[in-house]
Amino acid sequence: MKVRIKFKKYGPVRFIGHLDVMRFFQKCIRRAEIDIAYSQGFSPHQIMSFAAPLGVGLTSDGEYMDIECHSVTTSQDMMKRLNDASVYGIEVVSVKELPDGAGNAMASVAAASYTVRFREGREPGFDYIRELPAFMAQESIMITKETKKSTLEIDLKPGIYECKAFEDKSIYMLVDASSAGNIKPVQVIEAFLAGHGETLQENALLIHRNDTYTNVAKKNKRRRLVPLDAIGTDIE
């Protein structure tokens, strides 16, 4: 049985990298006595996969992990067991059984939404709240991306599905988070500032991932995004 677990990441745990989060959940699942399946072979390991890994320093309300279980109890019981075995900063908020044929969390990711704020004293020198609509109205948003082998010119615009600012000085953005696109909020903000002759100050942003989405639209149809845990059903 495939199970999708949604969890939050906040507080000091935001400085823990993805590999350490994975190791934490391996121990948490054992302490919670979840009947997880193990791989075969010389060095068996728990069968689990994560959706798009969260960058160090970011917080999130929408992180996902898929596991395979030999047996389950109920969604509420498994969620309680995991949270009882967890630590401050990692909180499981849903446990869903996945239908047969559902893609794994990583392969299912199509987009992610974020709330971005500037740290006090590190804001741009222009009225970014009022200037953002003009930035998004451009036909293209070009950036230069360096790889191990070359330098590429990339247009961010097709992968920014939504981007708007609010009077509380926060910026909301919904962007492509698939393996083919994978736009990061920092890239968008850097391009925005560059258009006004400014560079992003070090450690200037507070970035929170609101949720991670999959596209349930049929091929060649208009994109229809839903949170990754909308695919499964509660275990009763």
Among candidates 108, 110, 126, which has minimal Cα distance to 118? Answer: 126
At 18 the pLDDT is 93
Query: Do 112 and 193 share a domain, yes or no?
Result: yes
**Is pLDDT above 80 for 222?**
yes
Query: Do 54 and 146 share a domain, yes or no?
Result: no
At 180 the pLDDT is 83
Q: How many CA atoms lie within 13 A of 205 on its CB side?
A: 24
Q: Which domain holds residue 45?
A: 2-106
At 212 the pLDDT is 97
At 102 the pLDDT is 86
pLDDT tens digits for range 6-15:
999 999 999 9
Residue with tokens 């036909």: 139
Q: What is the mean pLDDT of residues 145-165?
A: 89
Please check whether residue 96 lies inside any domain of the structure. Answer: yes
pLDDT band at 192 (very low <50, low <70, confident <90, very high): very high
pLDDT above 90 coverage of the chain, percent? 85
pLDDT above 70 coverage of the chain, percent? 100
Query: Do 177 and 129 share a domain, yes or no?
Result: yes
β-strands 59-68, 205-215 pairing: parallel
At 148 the pLDDT is 75
Q: What is the mean pLDDT of residues 36-49?
A: 92
What angle do helix axes 185-194 and 128-136 make, rounded to 10 degrees? 100
pLDDT tens digits for range 62-71:
999 999 999 9
Last residue of a domain, one of 106, 130, 145: 106
Q: What b-and-e string marks burial along 86-111, b requiring 16 or more CB atoms within 10 Å of the CB? A: beebbbbebbbbbeeebebbeebbbb
At 190 the pLDDT is 96
pLDDT band at 101 (very low <50, low <70, confident <90, very high): confident
| CB of 114 closer than 8 Å to CB of 185 | yes
Please check whether residue 235 lies inside any domain of the structure. Answer: no
